[in-house]
Structure 1
Amino acid sequence: MTAAETRPCGILAEGWGWRYGTRLAWAAQDVTLSIRPGERVLLLGASGSGKSTVLQALAGVLGGEDEGEQAGRLLVDGAPPEAARGRTGLVQQDPDAQAVLARVGDDVAFGCENLGVPHDEIWSRVQEALAIVGLDVPLDRSTSALSGGQKQRLALAGALAMRPGLLLLDEPTANLDPEGVVEVRDAVSRVVAHTGATLVVVEHRVDVWLPVVDRVIVLGGGQQGVVADGTPEVVLARRGAELASGGVWVPGIPPRRPGPPRHAPGAPLLAAEALQVGRLRDTAVAGPVDLEVRPGEVLGITGRNGAGKSTLARTLAGLLPPVDGRVAAAPELAAGAGPAPIRWRSREILTRIGTVLQSPDHQLLANTVRAELEVGMRALRLPDAEISARGEELLAALRLAHLADANPHTLSGGEKRRLTVAAMLATRPRVCVLDEPTFGQDATTWAELVDIIARLRDGADAAPSAVVAVTHDADVLAALDARVHRLDGAGVLG
């Protein structure tokens, strides 16, 4: 991958904005900026400020007039982004949205094939890209068998294989373990150093990317457009306090944290005994595991990508059967439904175990945010007045009230995460299983989500809940005084 093979792209935005066809408010508005070829830019802003929308627009994938309304102009190398699609590589927030083929090698090769790259050259590019991102799996490995972090590396490899002049990364390290974060950051740094490609990265882990970028641009959301633009030293040092107050993650200015647990943990509501877990009936990816899930505390599940954390979480939640061993619910939680959550009916699970999956899009069922919140409550046949009251309370608590009538799929990644948490809370389960609960959050919404989890733990509004949190965010576990179980796994690490 050489500079001669890659011509970096320039970017120009003049009063640019975009409004999705299903929303009244603009997702981004009055964005004016110029990025020179070869610059490395960190794009910041509070959750919902339009960062992902800008990246999708630069990649030419927002759609036409039937999907939304555009204002101003946006150019890549002096032309509309749609004309430069072969020159841009986009890695989106949700890596599942980019896995288009069944096997790893074919998926990485897909973009090259669309560009008409000669067959022999495609496969050398595939091998090179996989090596750069550190995804050491067979080319015929099923993409559906990869962990969330591995899928993120796969998406990045697919973008790198096309050797784009403009590399667009949307939260590229969100679901990666700490080692993987550094590996991917360093891989991107090597690529842009060797090729000279222009880089625009959206990431809440600001300190991770400071060694790579030479410019920081901050979006204010709404009609504010660009509110800060300059070198990292100028923007973060001189305006750090101001930006942090608006939700931007600023190194050295941590968000507020809740207090310690109010009560000692209670008797276990769930217990795993010699538990082995896997997505396939006879193939364990982790275990045996023995653990207890107790009200009044947070159980943190950590481990490297591919260790089986999400699979363990789904098994504890009654969504996957154990490969071996068992998950047993205490009589207080089972309440006549039987001790094995995997055998419970969906309505029985709703008020007992609530689950937030790693990928928010996998849980979105309704056409509006308000209707999404009501899905579980309507399945429980709650009175309309109670459904409305709970829904309005959660919309306000999770900062989603202004999006109540929006299509959930048009929300930012952070907003989708808050929506799935709100939908889980609506049915008031005693056990909450959260997979990467703070994914995509700005500093303000991170603190608010952590506070909500702490209130569940402490029983601030009802009996104390038991919380299982699968996360790579060590700050979350520290803030919640979590008891940590590290999973080593039996599968491929990545």
Structure 2
Amino acid sequence: MTPLDGPLPRAVQVSARGWGWRHAWRRAFAARHLDLELTPGERVLLLGASGAGKSTVLHALAGVLGSNDEGEQEGDLLLDGVPPAAARGRAGLVLQDPESQVVLARVGDEVAFAAENLAVPRDEIWRRVHRALDDVGLDLPLDHPTTALSGGQKQRLALASVLAMEPGLLLLDEPTANLDPDGVLEVRDAVIRVLDRTRATLVVVEHRVAVWADVVDRVIVLDADGGVLADGAPGEVLVQEATSSRLEQAGVWVPGRRPAVGGAVPTSDGGEVLLAATGLDVARTKRGPVAVAGLDLAVRAGQAIGITGPNGAGKSTAALTLGGLLRPRAGSVRAAPALAGTAGDDPFRWRSPELVQRIGTVFQEPEHQFLTASVGEELAFGPARVGGAQAPGRIAELAERLRLTHLLKANPFTLSGGEKRRLSVATMLATTPRILVLDEPTFGQDALTWAELVTLLRELVHDGVAVLSVTHDAEFIDALGGATLHVSGGAGTLVHR
């Protein structure tokens, strides 16, 4: 254990008594009937189905849910005996979407920002900054621009910023979801090192239970209908058959159990070529460095391609370029007549209605593609732009398949992370594109919604849609079949399975 210079932060005690929260524009409570006590220094894994209220609980503990004008609260939630809003600085929250947490233009300033607001002495701030960056494995100059970071790197940056605060209560919402396999363990171990040093209380939300099961003291499972479904030591909650079977039925990822998926297993290498990349160089910005060079790739109808590789290797940049949203730095991306029709062979030059009917792209950050005030309007927006005659039936089917029917009147920005991801996928599927490009499609999904999403995508591939998925989810790649494009060291290698 590494000693800490100066006084240790005081670990926070958490108390909830009949606590609940309902957003002002939603009929149902996001979380309700919550009763629990967390002792100072306790390490808790918070589980539950997608939409069960896990993120809402974390936001409440961090004191960022807003005023009574923004929602209705019932019961009591206290940190060391006071409401969270009166204990600002005692809790540090890493949001589910790290993009929304980045404030400043340079990496060093971003990590120092929260500590500066807590009036930490200047010399101590920069000592914490360097240590936090080392802890999370973000080996970049302090003046590196935050806009040039990949999604996984932004996730590490957000964690480093909160670790530099050294809060008494550390709140993590899916902290490893967008990380490569090595990064998952590196970040988890960084969190444990900080907890060993500071003795802070931990509440972490993570769908992939096995990552944290061996390093927490307690597992609490929220019931989707309110209250607590299970609460106890990991060995009791996750291992005992009576409890683990209930968790599996609720959609919790139980270690050693993989959810069953339907649909035909895609085994072929696909049919006719829809899109071809030749000598393709891709870059995130016009003047930025080339991320992937010399890529040759043919995308075929009815083919699944998983795009893998370490964080920052250029996976998302390559996918956005193939999807017609970024201009190639060199080489070309050309659409075959079977895809292009009368639109021309350069996807980058297609107008929005032409593109969305041919290539649908789901961004890594779902909020970046939301345009309306309700889930129903969001699903209808794309088909309305392209004149889809069968839109109402298609929208109803997608909403049912992806468990969004009860949310049709909800504001997209109030959904949970998993619900936002399913909505972003559904909005692209609503326009029936021939190619679907997905960036981290299984982010935030419980076991049941993961299985439904995989089943739906397998059916699309079977029906002739090409699906390109940027993902670190090995189980997803295995279930979808097809080929793997591994991006690393500035190059991409296609492997057929």
- Which category describes the TM-score, using the shorter chain as reference length? over 0.9
Q: 2:367 matched to 1:361?
A: yes
**Partner letter of residue 106 of structure 1?**
D
Distance 1:43 1:85 in 2: 22
Residues 24-54 of structure 1, C-alpha deviation per residue, up to 9 Å, x if partnerless?
0100010110000000000000000000000
**Partner letter of residue 146 of structure 2?**
T
Query: 2:495 is matched with which residue?
Result: none
Query: 2:265 is matched with which residue?
Result: 260
Distance 1:355 1:129 in 2: 34
Query: 1:271 is matched with which residue?
Result: 276
Distance 1:296 1:424 in 2: 17
Query: Which of 325, 328, 332 is the aligned partner of 1:326?
Result: 332
1:476-491 aligned within 5 A: 476-490=476-490
Distance 1:141 1:424 in 2: 34
**Partner letter of residue 19 of structure 1?**
R
Does the 8 A contact of 1:47 with 1:441 survive in 2? yes
Deviation for aligned residue 1:200: 0.4
Deviation for aligned residue 1:143: 0.8
Distance 1:490 1:302 in 2: 13
Q: 2:108 matched to 1:102?
A: no
Q: Secondary structure at the match of 1:32?
A: strand
Does the 8 A contact of 1:306 with 1:489 survive in 2? no
**Partner letter of residue 455 of structure 1?**
E
Query: Which of 440, 446, 450 is the aligned partner of 1:446?
Result: 450
**Partner letter of residue 142 of structure 2?**
L
Deviation for aligned residue 1:264: 5.3
1:221-232 aligned within 5 A: 221-222=224-225, 224-232=226-234
Does the 8 A contact of 2:266 with 2:482 survive in 1? no
Distance 1:159 1:172 in 2: 12
Query: 1:392 is matched with which residue?
Result: 396
Distance 2:294 2:129 in 1: 36
Query: 1:205 is matched with which residue?
Result: 208
Are residues 264 and 290 of structure 1, via their aligned partners in 2, closer, same or farther at CA, if it must alter by over 3 Å? closer
Structure 2-normalised TM-score? 0.96
Distance 1:359 1:145 in 2: 15
Distance 1:24 1:64 in 2: 17
Distance 2:220 2:84 in 1: 20
Does the 8 A contact of 2:307 with 2:486 survive in 1? yes
Query: 1:89 is matched with which residue?
Result: 92
Does the 8 A contact of 2:107 with 2:144 survive in 1? yes
Deviation for aligned residue 1:279: 1.6
Query: 2:323 is matched with which residue?
Result: 317
Distance 1:295 1:381 in 2: 24
Query: 1:467 is matched with which residue?
Result: 467
Does the 8 A contact of 1:262 with 1:458 survive in 2? no
Does the 8 A contact of 1:263 with 1:458 survive in 2? no
Does the 8 A contact of 2:290 with 2:329 survive in 1? yes
**Partner letter of residue 450 of structure 2?**
W
Distance 2:436 2:489 in 1: 22
Deviation for aligned residue 1:237: 1.5
Deviation for aligned residue 1:285: 1.2
Distance 2:137 2:269 in 1: 42
Does the 8 A contact of 1:356 with 1:434 survive in 2? yes
**Partner letter of residue 448 of structure 2?**
T
**Identical aligned residues as a percent:** 60
Q: Secondary structure at the match of 1:62?
A: coil
Query: Which of 416, 419, 427 is the aligned partner of 2:420?
Result: 416
Query: 1:170 is matched with which residue?
Result: 173
Distance 1:81 1:387 in 2: 45
Q: Secondary structure at the match of 1:445?
A: helix
Does the 8 A contact of 2:269 with 2:482 survive in 1? no
**Partner letter of residue 238 of structure 2?**
L
Deviation for aligned residue 1:337: 1.1
Does the 8 A contact of 2:280 with 2:329 survive in 1? yes
Distance 2:380 2:261 in 1: 30
Are residues 67 and 489 of structure 1, via their aligned partners in 2, closer, same or farther at CA, if it must alter by over 3 Å? farther
For structure 1, which runs of at least 5 residues remain unmatched after alignment? none
Deviation for aligned residue 1:262: 6.6
**Partner letter of residue 446 of structure 1?**
W
Are residues 468 and 204 of structure 1, via their aligned partners in 2, closer, same or farther at CA, if it must alter by over 3 Å? same
Following TM superposition, the consecutive aligned residue runs of length 4 or more in structure 1 with deviations greater than 3 angstroms are none
Instruction: Provide the aligned length of Structure 1 versus Structure 2.
Output: 484
Does the 8 A contact of 2:268 with 2:482 survive in 1? no
Q: Secondary structure at the match of 2:88?
A: helix
Distance 1:262 1:289 in 2: 24
Distance 1:305 1:268 in 2: 29
**Partner letter of residue 230 of structure 1?**
G
1:49-448 aligned within 5 A: 49-222=52-225, 224-238=226-240, 239-258=243-262, 259-261=264-266, 265-282=270-287, 283-383=289-389, 386-448=390-452
Comparing 374-383 and 19-28, the one that deviates more: 374-383
The root-mean-square deviation of aligned C-alpha atoms, in Å, is 1.3
Distance 1:246 1:7 in 2: 35
Does the 8 A contact of 1:260 with 1:480 survive in 2? yes
For structure 2, which runs of at least 5 residues remain unmatched after alignment? 492-497
Q: Secondary structure at the match of 2:89?
A: helix
**Partner letter of residue 416 of structure 2?**
S
Q: Secondary structure at the match of 2:334?
A: strand
Does the 8 A contact of 1:29 with 1:221 survive in 2? no
Q: Secondary structure at the match of 2:92?
A: strand
Q: Secondary structure at the match of 2:224?
A: coil
Q: Secondary structure at the match of 1:7?
A: coil
Deviation for aligned residue 1:390: 2.0
Does the 8 A contact of 1:241 with 1:253 survive in 2? no
Structure 1-normalised TM-score? 0.96
Does the 8 A contact of 2:267 with 2:482 survive in 1? no
Does the 8 A contact of 1:287 with 1:489 survive in 2? no
**Partner letter of residue 248 of structure 1?**
V
Residues 463-493 of structure 1, C-alpha deviation per residue, up to 9 Å, x if partnerless?
x1011011000000001113001001439xx
**Partner letter of residue 453 of structure 2?**
L
Residues 368-410 of structure 1, C-alpha deviation per residue, up to 9 Å, x if partnerless?
0001111111111334xx3322222211111011111001111
